[in-house]
Amino acid sequence: MSECTHDCSTCQADCASRQADFRKSLREGASVKKVIAVVSGKGGVGKSLVTSLLACEMQRRGYQAAILDADITGPSIPTAFGVTQHAYGTDEYLLPVTSHSGVQMMSMNLILEEETAPVVWRGPVIAGAVTQFWTDVLWQDVDFMFVDMPPGTGDVPLTVFQSLPIDGVIIVTSPQDLVSMIVAKAVNMAGLMKVPVLGLVENMSYFKCPDCGKEHAIFGESHAEETAKTFNIPHSVRLPIDPAVATMVDAGEVESVDGSHIAPMADVVEGLLK
């Protein structure tokens, strides 16, 4: 048996290290009921968009939603919500920044002096920052927290799975040919961490012509249903390519996006409290 590298995401052994409980506690006075990680085996598939849409939809339904932006080196959540103010707090804690509709959020771009400043940190430091977003922020009466994860199965995803009480995972993918391998990585990591996969969101699934109403598979035919069936994922949702959505997100108006396409996945999330 080779020497342990302490990177559980690359290991198949069912050792005591994986079985140990490394979960961190919220600070006194903070409250979060359910935590959902939004993940993918690769970048560029729209995790931040899906995270934002789910948070907005739960907020519209009368719940208190929150977003923990765990993509430390590529934070985009504040931009999507049009949030420009900085987070502030005391020597003991940080207060989450709140969007126009009331979604609470914490992101690296909310504490950097300049949002374009690069975060040139090694993996363990980045992972530590994510943990602090959980332990040092005064999250206030949150019903659903969505964690926008960086791609892959490295330091930060491992830290989130081990440090936060994750109630479920939503996997985001796209219609390209490599989708099966990419989803497999995310599913296998969730399995190693003993976290249930709630559903699969296929982003950029099709383009609906505004003139004739016909759906066009710009990036290839959808694999959502067959992929979900292959990996025993109970629910799948397809999101269209919509230039209007991209325009609204770039303008910081994600809260104005129609939530009907993500609503079935929001139903699944809502069921966690029932």
Predicted confidence (pLDDT) at residue 3 exceeds the cutoff of 80: no
| 61-100 as b/e: b if 16+ CB within 10 A | bebbbbbbbbbbeebbbbbbbbbeeebeeeeeebebbebe
Give the residue extent of every domain in the chain: 33-273
pLDDT at 12: 56
Instruction: Just give the CATH number of 33-273.
Output: 3.40.50.300
- With contact defined as beta carbons under 8 Å apart, do 93 and 137 qualify? yes
Read off the pLDDT of residues 124-174 as tens digits, 9 standing for 90 and up: 888 899 999 999 999 999 999 999 998 877 788 899 999 999 999 999 999
Q: How many CB atoms lie within 10 A of CB 147?
A: 27
pTM of the model: 0.89
Mean pLDDT calculated for residue range 234-253: 96
**First-last CA distance in the chain:** 45
Residue with tokens 């969101």: 201
Among 43-52, 69-78, 156-165, 257-266, the range with the most confident prediction by mean pLDDT is 257-266
- Does the pLDDT at position 188 exceed 60? yes
